A = this chain, B = another copy of it.
Amino acid sequence: MAAQGAAHAHQTHNHRACIEDALATARELCAARGVQLTPIREKVLQIVWRSHKPVGAYDVLDELSRSHKSARPPTVYRALDFLMGEGLIHKIESLNAYLGCVEAGAPHSGQFLICRHCGATEEIVDRKLETALEAAAKRTQFAAERKVVEISGLCARCAS
């Protein structure tokens, strides 16, 4: 796995298994929902999962082109849109890039810690933060639908 990219913060892991877990979960979810995880969609999901760094749509396209010569921008964006719709990936707005979702299945807006040095991005699920977001919106009678939380900085590894 030469192109593996950064591991979860603070630990290395078997990234091949990590990808396989994500793909297996995706297959199950799509089957259960009666939606099609087509070869293109699965390949795109796999590419996004190649690392724990957000990956740009055109990087996905470059990689996808190797196996699907006819791939074009719409090919990729359709697949990304599908995967986002199914909650299998997230878009990192501040980077215009995409990241595999670690909580696939439970629709949610992610919260992310983005290291500006190594690029590794960790999705966190922080209940208190979620509560604070809801409370902040409620304070002005705002009906929250999507919550973008992206914290940039230095991960523990890169800070040292």
* Chain A contacts to B: CB under 8 angstroms: 9-10, 93-94, 111, 113, 115-116, 122, 124, 126, 128-129, 131-133, 135-137, 139-156, 159
Contacts and interface: CB of A to CB of B under 8 A. Distances in A.
A12 to B, nearest CB: 16
Given A93-B94, A93-B150, A94-B93, A135 B128 contact: yes
Given A94-B93, A132-B126, A144 B151 contact: yes
Given A93-B93, A94-B93, A137 B153 contact: yes
A140 B116 contact: no
Most buried by B among A147, A151, A154: A151
A10 B140 contact: yes
A159 B149 CA distance: 23
Contact of A147 (B136, B143, B151): B151
A129 B140 contact: no
A43 to B, nearest CB: 27
A148 B149 contact: yes
Contacts of A133: 129, 132, 149, 151
